[in-house]
Structure 1
Amino acid sequence: MSESLSTDVLIVGGGVAGLWLNARLRRLGYSTLLVDKGVLGGGQSVKSQGIIHGGTKYALSGALTGASEAIADMPRRWREALAGSGELDLSGVRLLSDAHYLWSPGTLTGNLTSFFASKAVRSRVGQVKGGELPPALQNPRFKGKVYRLSELVLDVPSLIQRLAELSGPGLLKAERIEPLRENGELTGLIVDGRSIRAQRIVLTAGAGNAELLSALGLAQPAMQKRPLHMVIVKAPTLKPLYAHCLGGGSKPRITVTSHPAADGEWVWYLGGDLAEAGGVARDEASQIAAAKKELAELVPWIDLSAAKWATLRIDRAEPAQSALARPDNAFLAEQGRLLVGWPTKLALSPDFADRVEAALIRDGIQPQPLTPLPELPRPAITGPFWKGLV
């Protein structure tokens, strides 16, 4: 039996939310230990498009909803961290694009024209033309309009790498996680037979939260999954593009991010409406066919005859909402020493950490003098989402 350990905060789940929280709490002087069953960032984090958006796409329905306002401050906080002057030092994390774009393939419909004219949107959006256009759209056949958003796109594996560095020795690879109860109270977890006591236990394991809650004998908070069926395309003819292509509805018709492969080619990662319910219902071949049709209509000047295609299914794990709606903020529920949460969006990881920090302060949880951690088996770090697919 391994020696028992004690820490101020025990975190389960090594995606961006858990790693960000871990680094933030360490900076505040808490001792922390983050436990993960897989590879760091290997769940939803690496399969995200890496967009740190400020909610402009949520305002497409014409109203600045709770989602767009809650998330509006996130790009600033991430930029400060990337510059090394924010709440975490993320200098060295690879920035794929300093902006994300809104792209209308043809003439803008009336409601979109008024959307861009509204004061709330004007402060975040500016039209670009000519040489300022994203490289993939710099073609004489392109007839649409493009607007630059004050949002950014990150290389998620390099973000995970940096957050893991900021975790110091406090990372532990786990096979089996069980509750540690003393006098009927949850006081920690038993990880592969080793007891770990903590003042607070935070579950931030994305889709894994449901299994962990079940192991703890808890049915709440309930979780929902909103599936996506993303498309990956790799070709020597692709150039960088980071954009929401607007359709007629309130969701982007297609959302494109671009990722550099080791061989010098670009990988496009396609989400948006293409990947939502209609895409989820399609099998891989049908979904690839739908993506080919969309790109043939939207960027017909790009020769994709030598392209490699694949799809990737993702379950976005979130607190249960009525009618599978999208939650507007990071979510945190509490029960004794246990805190359970979902950031709901990569960009909202700082908001999630705010909520945990506020709960610790409210409950008077102070850093305790603790024995330094022994050397522990560390989880590996995720590779890129397209690895082994294209």
Structure 2
Amino acid sequence: MSQALSTDVLIVGGGVAGLWLNARLRRQGFATVLVERACLGGGQSVKSQGIIHGGAKYALHGALTGASEAIADMPRRWREALAGSGELDLAGVRLLSDAHYLWSPGSLAGNITSFFASKAVRGRVDQVKGEQLPPALQHPTFKGKVYRLAELVLDVPSVIKRLSELAGDGLLAGECIEPLRENGQLVGLIIDGREIRAQRVILSAGSGNAELLSSLGLSQPTQQLRPLHMVLVKGPSLKPLYAHCLGGGPKPRVTITTHPAADGQWVWYLGGDLAEADGVARDEASQIKAAQKELSDLLPWVDLSAAQWATLRIDRAEPAQSGLVRPDNAFLHEQGSLLVGWPTKLALAPDFADRVLAAFNRDGIQPATHAPLPALPRPTVAPPFWQGLV
């Protein structure tokens, strides 16, 4: 049997939420081990569009909501981390765009236009024109309105890589995960036959949380999966675009982000309403056809004759909600020494860490002294998912 280990906190799940939490804990002096079964960030994280939302997306019906207010401070916190002056040092992470945009293909409804100009969103939203427009919208035939959001778009693979560096020697590749109990209490986990004791065990494995909970003999908290059917298009004529296209409803008609391919071309990654209910019901060919029609209607000047197309299905894992609605905040459930959580969005990884640290402060959890970790088998970092699709 492998050498038994001890640590302050044992984290299972190496997506952005688990890695961010791990780095925060280490910065505060806690000893940590983070276990990942596959590739770091290889689940939902690397398939994210990389948008650090500030809430405007949730106000498209003309009013601020609980979701928009809960997430409002996230862009500032991420920007400070990118500058190396925040709660983590993410200097070196690639910033794809310093802003995200809202655009309407025609005239916006008057109440929404006035709402974006109101005090409620002042400082978050500004109208842009001419050379301030995103490159893909700088065309003589474009007649819509464009609003610049005080948000940002990150290259998620570089985020995962940097967070893995901040994990130091505490990353562990492990497949078989079993509970370690004494006197009926969870005192750690057995990873591939190696006992790892910890003051607290935290599950942050996204959709993997359900299986982990089952292996621990637990039925709560329950998980919901909200599916998406995303579309990717790569072509020599594409220019950078990071924007929600308004469709008049409470959700963006389509959300486009742009990502660098290894061959120097750009990949457009399409989400929004296109990828939700109707999109989920379509097969790949029908979904690509729907996306082609959307782009033809919205951006008719973009030449897609040489474009390559693909789709990607994603299940967003979250705590179960009535009616499968989207949770407003990161979620944390506590059961003795076990904590289980979902960030619910990439942008809310700092909020997830806040909730864990608040629980530690309440319970008086402090760093202890542990033997140095031996050399551990280290999980690899997930490559950009689009490399194998387009």
Could you state the TM-score of these two structures normalised by the residue count of structure 1?
A: 0.99
Aligned to 2:226: 226
Aligned to 1:150: 150
What is the distance in 2 between the residues matched to 1:252 and 1:385?
A: 24
Aligned to 1:123: 123
Q: Contact 1:52/1:347 (CA < 8 Å) preserved in 2?
A: yes
Aligned to 1:329: 329
Aligned to 2:170: 170
Q: How many Å apart are 1:111 and its aligned residue?
A: 2.8
Alignment of 1:1-390 (within 5 A): 1-390=1-390
What is the distance in 2 between the residues matched to 1:303 and 1:261?
A: 18
Q: Contact 2:228/2:275 (CA < 8 Å) preserved in 1?
A: yes
Q: Contact 2:123/2:150 (CA < 8 Å) preserved in 1?
A: no
SS of alignment partner, residue 237 of structure 1? coil
Q: Contact 1:84/1:90 (CA < 8 Å) preserved in 2?
A: yes
Aligned residues: 390
Q: How many Å apart are 1:77 and its aligned residue?
A: 0.2
What is the distance in 1 between the residues matched to 2:84 and 2:296?
A: 41
What is the distance in 1 between the residues matched to 2:101 and 2:129?
A: 12
Instruction: After superposition, give the CA deviation of every residue in 1:236-284 in whole Å (9 maximum; x if it has no partner).
Output: 0000000000001010000000001111100000000000011000000
SS of alignment partner, residue 207 of structure 1? helix
Instruction: After superposition, give the CA deviation of every residue in 1:108-138 in whole Å (9 maximum; x if it has no partner).
Output: 1123223213211222100111111100001
What is the distance in 2 between the residues matched to 1:247 and 1:111?
A: 14
SS of alignment partner, residue 209 of structure 2? helix
SS of alignment partner, residue 279 of structure 2? helix
SS of alignment partner, residue 102 of structure 1? strand
Q: How many Å apart are 1:175 and its aligned residue?
A: 1.2
Q: Contact 2:32/2:170 (CA < 8 Å) preserved in 1?
A: yes
What is the distance in 2 between the residues matched to 1:87 and 1:110?
A: 40
What is the distance in 2 between the residues matched to 1:64 and 1:215?
A: 41
What is the distance in 1 between the residues matched to 2:75 and 2:365?
A: 30
Q: How many Å apart are 1:350 and its aligned residue?
A: 0.2
Q: How many Å apart are 1:388 and its aligned residue?
A: 1.2
SS of alignment partner, residue 252 of structure 1? coil
SS of alignment partner, residue 111 of structure 2? helix
Runs of 4 or more above 4 Å deviation: none
What is the distance in 1 between the residues matched to 2:111 and 2:213?
A: 44
Q: Contact 1:223/1:317 (CA < 8 Å) preserved in 2?
A: yes
SS of alignment partner, residue 90 of structure 2? coil
In structure 2, stretches of 5+ residues that fail to align are none
Q: Contact 1:233/1:307 (CA < 8 Å) preserved in 2?
A: yes
Could you state the TM-score of these two structures normalised by the residue count of structure 2?
A: 0.99
Q: Contact 1:221/1:333 (CA < 8 Å) preserved in 2?
A: yes
Q: What letter corresponds to residue 367 of structure 2 in structure 1? A: P
SS of alignment partner, residue 206 of structure 2? coil
What is the distance in 1 between the residues matched to 2:202 and 2:129?
A: 47
Q: What letter corresponds to residue 189 of structure 2 in structure 1? A: L
SS of alignment partner, residue 387 of structure 2? coil
Q: How many Å apart are 1:197 and its aligned residue?
A: 0.4
What is the distance in 2 between the residues matched to 1:115 and 1:250?
A: 14
What is the distance in 2 between the residues matched to 1:205 and 1:248?
A: 35
What is the distance in 2 between the residues matched to 1:249 and 1:115?
A: 15
What is the distance in 2 between the residues matched to 1:251 and 1:118?
A: 20
Q: How many Å apart are 1:68 and its aligned residue?
A: 0.4
SS of alignment partner, residue 202 of structure 1? strand
Q: What letter corresponds to residue 243 of structure 2 in structure 1? A: A
What is the distance in 2 between the residues matched to 1:155 and 1:248?
A: 29
What is the distance in 2 between the residues matched to 1:181 and 1:170?
A: 22
SS of alignment partner, residue 80 of structure 1? helix
What is the distance in 2 between the residues matched to 1:55 and 1:385?
A: 26
Q: Contact 1:227/1:313 (CA < 8 Å) preserved in 2?
A: yes
